[in-house]
Amino acid sequence: MGCADTVEESRRQLTRDAMAIAAYALPVGLVYGLAALQAHFTLLDVVVTCLVVLAGGAQFAAAGLVKGGAPWLAIAGVTALVNARHLLYSAAVAPYTAERPRRERAFMAHFLTDETFALSLAHFRRIGRFDAPGYWVAALVIFVPWTLGSTVGYLAGGAVDTRLLGLDVAFPAAMAGLSLGMVSRRRDVAAALGAVAVAVPIGLVGGVSAGLVAGALLGPLFGLAVPASATDESSAPETPEPSAEAGLP
């Protein structure tokens, strides 16, 4: 098989994988739209947040914090922590993009979500080089359905009694499920449980925002206190594990 055939075959596989992720991002976007509605976002807030931030976990977190009246600085801090993993994704993709113009790399970086990373890196590894069409398929396949789903969820949520339908539990459930999607090692489990153990008592004393920030900052220390297992050691920065199963950007 020639090089061109290899690229075409890899692009076809990328597209198949991407469609599965798109089919999942749309309904999860609906849930985010509902969460944003409950946090009293406007439609413009929802759309701009999806376009500008493009980070599902952080967007869900921000909706909950805004609803609880948290200061924006605390929201920014939690966002930075939740999205810090992107540093590892970017480092893994960087060798493939090194020859591209700086302006193009700067633009591509905005779209480097969990799913874009997972899809594009797998594609680059299959063909052994960077492929711009492949990267943009991987980027748009989450960007478009996530934004569309969020918008539709927001508009549809306004027409129903969200409490009667139990939709108010969708946000904490989504957060718990998303956290689980990121847990694959013993240290992850310790960090998540440590964060809960810190967040709840501090939240009771100092308020929900204080509990959240304390849990997010101190939770990783519980993970670091656990001796690294073989799987922890093998997870070098070159191969970070994205939470692509969760279907969030």
Partner 1 sequence: MTLGLIPLAVLMWAVTYPSRALPMLAPGIERLPAWTVSYLRLAGPAALAALAAVNCLLTAGNPPTLLVGVEPVAVAGCVLVVARTRLLLPGVLAAVVLVALARAIGVAA
94 or 132: whose CB is closer to partner 1? 94
16 or 103: whose CB is closer to partner 1? 103
CA-to-CA dists, residue 12 to 17, 146, 209, angstroms: 9, 22, 45
In degrees, to the nearest 5, what angle opens at C-alpha 180 toward C-alphas 176 and 184? 165
CA-to-CA dists, residue 85 to 121, 231, 242, angstroms: 15, 18, 9
22 or 195: whose CB is closer to partner 1? 195
Q: How far is the CB of 60 from partner 1 (least distance, A)?
A: 8
137 or 202: whose CB is closer to partner 1? 202
2 or 166: whose CB is closer to partner 1? 166
Q: What are phi and psi of 128, to 5 degrees?
A: 80, 15
Q: Rounded to an integer, what distance in angstroms lies between the CA atom of residue 243 and that of residue 38? A: 25
Q: How far is the CB of 80 from partner 1 (least distance, A)?
A: 4
Q: How far is the CB of 2 from partner 1 (least distance, A)?
A: 30
CA-to-CA dists, residue 237 to 83, 240, 242, angstroms: 15, 6, 12
Q: How far is the CB of 175 from partner 1 (least distance, A)?
A: 4
Contacts of 150 (CB under 8 A, 6+ apart): 29, 30, 32, 33, 36, 46, 47, 50
Q: How far is the CB of 231 from partner 1 (least distance, A)?
A: 12
